[in-house]
Amino acid sequence: MNAEREVRARIEQGLVHTESQAAFRNHLRRTDEIFAYNHTPPGEASRRRELLEAILGSVGARTVLLPPFHAGFGSNVHIGDDFFGNVNLTFVDDVDIRIGHGVMIAPGVTLTTTGHPVHPDRRVDFARFSEPIVIEDKVWIGSNVVVLPGVRIGRGSVIGAGSVVSRDIPPMVVALGAPCRVLRPITDDDLTTRA
């Protein structure tokens, strides 16, 4: 039990740990439920909702998550109200991914809490480290964005398609690129424009 406690502490601190060391967490994986969700007919909305509640750590009202989606665990993902997630959304959720209210995510986005050591000798047994991701309310994430471990995206911000978000993004900005950088603030002028 002490070994398990030590590995939990390493995970919580974002320190390197291995697949074997973290195996005690495998019961938290929702792979069968994710498979069932991804194969549930579109007309079975109540069954999809039931499965989503069984998969995710928490899920708000009026949530749309278009299949297929993928998750390492599923149980470490927490989604607020009025969420829209388009197809091929991937959650690498070895630790928490927290998504606020009114968030929209376009197709092909990856939210990954986990990375690996650079030196190959440190990657034995799939060694990794994990840091939580936070996406605040009313964020819009464009197609094919990758959000890396430990990132927080501030309320109301827009992340441009194809971006790689490796650092925190402040509230109410448009940010894009690889690496993702703030392009400009979002202002009241944006209430009257398309983009």
Among this protein's residues, is 116 annotated catalytic? yes
- Active-site annotation holder among 27, 70, 78, 116: 116
Quick one: CA torsion of 1, 11, 81, 88, rounded to 10 degrees? -110
Instruction: Classify 33 in phi/psi space as left (phi over 0), alpha (psi -120 to 50) or beta.
Output: alpha
Q: In the 8-state DSSP scheme, what is residue 134? A: E
Cα(43)–Cα(5) distance, rounded to whole angstroms? Answer: 44
φ/ψ region of 122 (left if φ > 0, alpha if ψ in -120 to 50, else beta) reads alpha
- Active-site residue set: 116
